[in-house]
Amino acid sequence: MTEYAAMIPLVIVALSATAAMLAEAFRQPGERMPIAGLGLIGLAGAAVASGFLWNSDAHSMGVIRSDNFALFINFVLCIIGVLTMLMSGDVVEREQIPAGEYYALTLFAICGMMMMAAATDLLVVFLALEILSLAVYVLTGIRRRSASGAEAAFKYFLLGAFSSAFFLYGIAFAFALSGSTRIEQIGEALSRQGAGEPSTLALLTVGLLAVGFAFKVSAVPFHMWTPDAYEGAPTIVTAFMSTAVKAAAFAAFVRVFLSPLEPLKNEWIPMLGVLAGLTMILGTVVGVVQTNVKRMLAYSSIAHAGYLLLGIVSANTTGKAAILFYLLAYAVTNMGALGIVALLGTSQNQHDELRDFSGLWKSRPGLAGLMTIFLLSLGGLPPTAGFIGKWYIFSAAIQEGHYWLAIIGVLTSVISVFFYLRIVVMMYMTEGSDAVRPRLGATAVAGLALAVVAVLYLGVLPTRALDLALDSISTIF
């Protein structure tokens, strides 16, 4: 039994996904069924199981390792999942999305992500990547009648397949290098090579794996799919993708780059440093000119990937912990922000243009207030989670003397505040649009309340979460 202990959280999620599929299959036409509830139970179970596994450092079959690092990501994913489930109810009904498939795919994606965070074998990382990617491709195009959805799903699929190929190629070189796909053994093989010039094989491994990850975390110049996919997907799926996929991809990124590939640090730090700088700059500068809120938040999510990359570039304890905290902070913040955009849509109109937000303060003061808090958090203003996250990331970079990257980071944050404030200006300082504002269901309100409490809690009393994050990285050397 202990052999499988490390897999319990993801098995629970997979079971709940299967249950959701079965529930859908046995549903009478027209019958309402709380399928999201199944998902909530599964996610809560996974979170509880992760809690029990804390500090146990359980291994399964040598390829899954539930160390605290993976468990922290599990918690983040459970939070994202719970928020998605809570806020999806209204959207699924409105867009006539097939509920069972939607929830099942979301849960399978989360299962894949948990596997990705815990995988200690590059092939399992790849397997997890495919599990989550396939689910997310389908989710992107789940509105079958939507042309933009189909386009987004197709683009995402093509570029995703490319990135998978790069990644797989990188794994092949790693295997050629070390005779194994296990992370520890690759690490050992690399450190045996010593401090001299790294071999071409090693450089190819690093380069190809980096490209694969860069695609998944949408770092410039591999970000092209992001705005289209995010804009075409149903908004709630965008929220899910931008937070959960990022969390899983960064988890694997950290695990691969900061342990087995650590000996090659001097080779990849400059490369990823340039990537981080470009990603921050392009994400914010292009974000400034967007008039569609989803697209704007897509570019903002590219910029946030840049900040997260800064944590990897720093390659120190603070950086690793900062990535974990930032992923958590970004998850609750962006789920909240995109969740509101999703909830404001109606079946005729998505209401995701900037001008659709005008006068929201008058018609829905509560929503406008929540949106403001989320946007301030995205912009990194105190007292929100986003501020602490950025502070932490920049601390890591400065600690290693990456002053220029930190300066690029803070200046792009200021620019990004400009476009986040455009939404605030619309909501508070412009006369109202005649957009119909739908009523929110109780679960959606609960989801938003949860997100905002988390944003403020992490912003004012971050100590606990920071300590947990610091506690989680001891197994990543």
Partner 1 sequence: MLSVIVFLPLVGAILVLLAGGSGDRRDREPAVRTLALAVSLATFLVTLLLWWRFDPTSADYQFVERHAWIPAFGIQYLVGVDGISLLLVVLTGFLTPLALLSSWDSVHKNVKMFSFFILALESSMLGVFVSIDLFLFYVFWDFVLIPMYFLIGIWGYERRVYAAVKFILYTMAGSVLMLVAIIGLAYAYASTSPTGTPSFNLLDLYAVRLSWPMEMWFFLAFAVAFLIKVPLFPFHTWLPDAHVEAPTAGSIILAGVMLKMGTYGLFRFAFPLFPSAAMYFAPWIGVLAVIGIIYGALVAMVQPDMKKLVAYSSVSHLGFVVLGLCAMNVQGAQGAVYQMLNHGVSTGGLFMIVGMLSDRRHTRLISEFGGLKAVMPRLVAAFLLITLASIALPGMNGFVGEFLILVGTFLWSSKLAAFAASGVILSAVYMLWMFQRVNYGEITNEKNRTLPDLTMREWVMMVPTIAMCIVMGVVPGVFLRPMEPSVKRTIERVTGRSYAATSQPQHVVALGAKPAPVPAAPLPPAARDSRIASPEPTAASRRPRSASSE
Q: Which residues bind partner 1 (CB under 8 A)?
A: 362, 365-366, 376, 381-383, 387, 391, 394-395, 398-399, 403, 406-407, 410-411, 413-414, 417-418, 421, 425, 428-430, 462-463, 466-467, 470
Minimum CB distance to partner 1 smaller for 230 or for 419: 419
Minimum CB distance to partner 1 smaller for 166 or for 392: 392
**Least CB distance to partner 1 at residue 388 (A):** 8
Minimum CB distance to partner 1 smaller for 158 or for 410: 410
Three-point CA angle 123, 303, 367, nearest 5°: 110
Contact predicate 116/248, CB 8 Å: yes
**Least CB distance to partner 1 at residue 393 (A):** 10
The one-letter code for the residue type at 461 is L
- Measured between alpha carbons, how far is 461 from 473 in angstroms, rounded to an integer? 21
Residue owning tokens 């989360």: 110
Minimum CB distance to partner 1 smaller for 143 or for 422: 422
**Least CB distance to partner 1 at residue 144 (A):** 40
Q: How remote is the C-alpha of 474 from its chain's centroid?
A: 22
Q: Which two tokens stand for residue 439?
A: 């009523």
Minimum CB distance to partner 1 smaller for 58 or for 376: 376
Minimum CB distance to partner 1 smaller for 430 or for 474: 430
Instruction: Please return the burial class of 39, using the count of CB atoms within 10 Å of its CB with bins 0-12, 13-18 and 19+.
Output: buried
Report which of 248, 402, 237, 216 is spatially closest to residue 319, judged by C-alpha positions.
402
Minimum CB distance to partner 1 smaller for 60 or for 416: 416
**Least CB distance to partner 1 at residue 54 (A):** 18
C-alpha pair distances (Å), 58 with each of 63, 74, 350: 11, 14, 45
SS3 content of the chain, % helix, strand, coil (to 5): 80, 0, 20
Minimum CB distance to partner 1 smaller for 150 or for 421: 421
Report which of 119, 2, 103, 95 is spatially closest to residue 43, judged by C-alpha positions.
103
Contact predicate 125/116, CB 8 Å: yes
Question: Which distant-in-sequence residues (6+ apart) come within 8 Å of 442 by Cβ?
Answer: none
**Least CB distance to partner 1 at residue 200 (A):** 37
Q: What is the DSSP string of 23-42?
A: HHHTPPTT----HHHHHHHH
**Least CB distance to partner 1 at residue 424 (A):** 8
The upper half-sphere exposure of residue 269, i.e. CA atoms within 13 Å in the direction of its Cβ, equals: 17
Question: Which distant-in-sequence residues (6+ apart) come within 8 Å of 124 by Cβ?
Answer: 63, 64, 115
- Measured between alpha carbons, how far is 341 from 322 in angstroms, rounded to an integer? 28
Q: How big is the chain, counted in residues?
A: 477
**Least CB distance to partner 1 at residue 404 (A):** 10
| Number of neighbours of residue 193 by Cβ within 10 angstroms | 16
Minimum CB distance to partner 1 smaller for 414 or for 436: 414
C-alpha pair distances (Å), 160 with each of 153, 157, 165, 203: 10, 5, 9, 23
**Least CB distance to partner 1 at residue 382 (A):** 4
Residue owning tokens 């295997």: 175
**Least CB distance to partner 1 at residue 247 (A):** 22
Minimum CB distance to partner 1 smaller for 161 or for 289: 289
Minimum CB distance to partner 1 smaller for 117 or for 465: 465
Report which of 107, 125, 84, 127 is spatially closest to residue 14, judged by C-alpha positions.
107
Locate the DSSP E strands across 61-210.
64-66
**Least CB distance to partner 1 at residue 372 (A):** 9
**Least CB distance to partner 1 at residue 385 (A):** 13
